[in-house]
Structure 1
Amino acid sequence: MCGRFAQYSSRDEYFESLGLKPDELTFDPDPIGRFNVAPGTKVLLLSEREHALHFDPVYWGYGPEWWDKQPLINARGETAASGRMFKPLWNHGRAIVPANGWFEWKKEDGKKQPFYIYHRKEQPLFFAAIGRQPFGQDHGKEGFVTVTSSSNKGMVDIHDRRPLVITADAVREWLSNDTSPQRAEEIAHDAAVPEQEFTWHPVSKKVGNIHNQGKELVEPDK
């Protein structure tokens, strides 16, 4: 986790869930409409620069010049704050990916079945992310990664890792440049949305093709 997710609501819906005011960001009633977001594409990312919020398209993946493998797309929340690769990003590049849900694949009868995971009340989700600041500039493949945590209490039957989803009321503090790296670790632990708040259902295998889009990809498979 997490290798595919959905970001299809309008900016209005995401920002209103955060309690943002119209003068803080550009609200837009049109849906973003991405039902199948894949790594290696640009994703709308919420961050703070110069004490103001920004919503920028940022490359999903992180591969600095010395990294000779495919760009990483996730960082383990348990080690991101202290590891060589991600500590600088944790300290100075915290961000949020507004989303509606994410996809995981589970092997059933020898075949991989995709599942769509989302909030039980279908509320917007806010994935913790870290990346290279400033996000308003193109850094090539030094973009961002989502932060993940271990799955417990019923979600391990789908996948043992999941995105670190934090509560709406903790987003501003997570993003703030005034928040210390140590405090960010506390937020990641204390403000994580618990597993029991999520539900899931099987979806069409069409989601496996990154070129496929459309609402049918998040609907229950018939």
Structure 2
Amino acid sequence: MCGRFVVTESSQDLIELFDIDQAAAELPGPSYNVRPTDQVPVILESAKSEPVVRRLESARWSLVPSFAKELASKYPTFNARSEEVASKATFAASVVSRRAIIPATGYYEWHTEGTQKTPYFIHSASDVPIAFAGLYSWWKDESLPPEDPARWVLSATILTRDAIGELAGLHPRTPVMLPPEFWDTWLDPHEPGDQSFVDAAVDASTDMFDDLVFHEVGPVKDDGPQLIEPVAG
């Protein structure tokens, strides 16, 4: 799973890296401790415009399906298991045409032995941003008037898969990390998504494991670059 992650890239860095056409006026700043329900940067493409426009938006990290009665959910939706995502009502519609990339510098995972949980920071050995495979949704808050800009809430989730290699010894699950050659395909709203499409993205993500490294860190509390510093051996 992925319950906390890090984004140190600026909005301008993301605009250049992902060839963004339009960026929202207000975007979340860098954070070393992104938590579920925080605002996170997301990259998406919408079929409502032709040609399709690639946008950088701010989204709530915990997907709220359009049919939800309220914003909060009793079930966690910040992650979605890739193996079954197309058959889950919460995520199925987003799989079809509302797919996103959630950029990250790296993420935290906790290795459990008995009752002891030890945090680790996982990132790219080449220090390039990671592109998490995500889904997004728009939810309408019926309690607000139509003219209120807060009436529409953009939210997102991160897909997960089985971990492999050394990472599997740390935790059995990991985010799906897309290679650059799969970015356009994943975002394309004209490419109808289904479970086999998601499975292809997971297969493409396997090569990304070769570039991952991790180290133990201290307690993941508050914010700041000290959170990703290695614990002195």
Q: Tell me, in whole angstroms, the C-alpha distance in 2 between the residues paired with 1:37 and 1:83.
A: 25
Deviation, 1:92, is 2.4
Check conservation: 1:174, 1:187, Cα contact below 8 A. Answer: no
Task: Tell me which amino acid in the other structure corresponds to 1:61.
Answer: S
TM-score by length of 2: 0.80
1:181 aligned counterpart, secondary structure: coil
Q: Which has the larger radius of gyration?
A: 2
Q: Between the two proteins, what is the percent identity of the paired residues? A: 26
Correspondence for 2:229 among 172, 195, 219: 219
Distance 1:164 1:69, change over 3 A: same
Deviation, 1:53, is 1.2
1:200 aligns with 2:214: yes
1:59 aligned counterpart, secondary structure: strand
Q: Tell me, in whole angstroms, the C-alpha distance in 2 between the residues paired with 1:111 and 1:151.
A: 21
| Equivalence map 1:101-140=2 (5 Å) | 101-108=106-113, 110-133=115-138, 139-140=152-153
Q: Tell me, in whole angstroms, the C-alpha distance in 2 between the residues paired with 1:62 and 1:32.
A: 20
Correspondence for 2:163 among 132, 137, 151: 151
Deviation, 1:161, is 0.6
Deviation, 1:65, is 2.4
Check conservation: 1:170, 1:187, Cα contact below 8 A. Answer: no
Q: Tell me, in whole angstroms, the C-alpha distance in 1 between the residues paired with 2:151 and 2:158.
A: 18
Tell me which residue corresponds to 1:96: 101
Task: Tell me which amino acid in the other structure corresponds to 2:104.
Answer: A
Task: Tell me which amino acid in the other structure corresponds to 1:220.
Answer: P
Deviation, 1:215, is 0.8
Correspondence for 1:87 among 92, 98, 104: 92
Deviation, 1:126, is 0.4
Correspondence for 2:204 among 179, 191, 199: 191
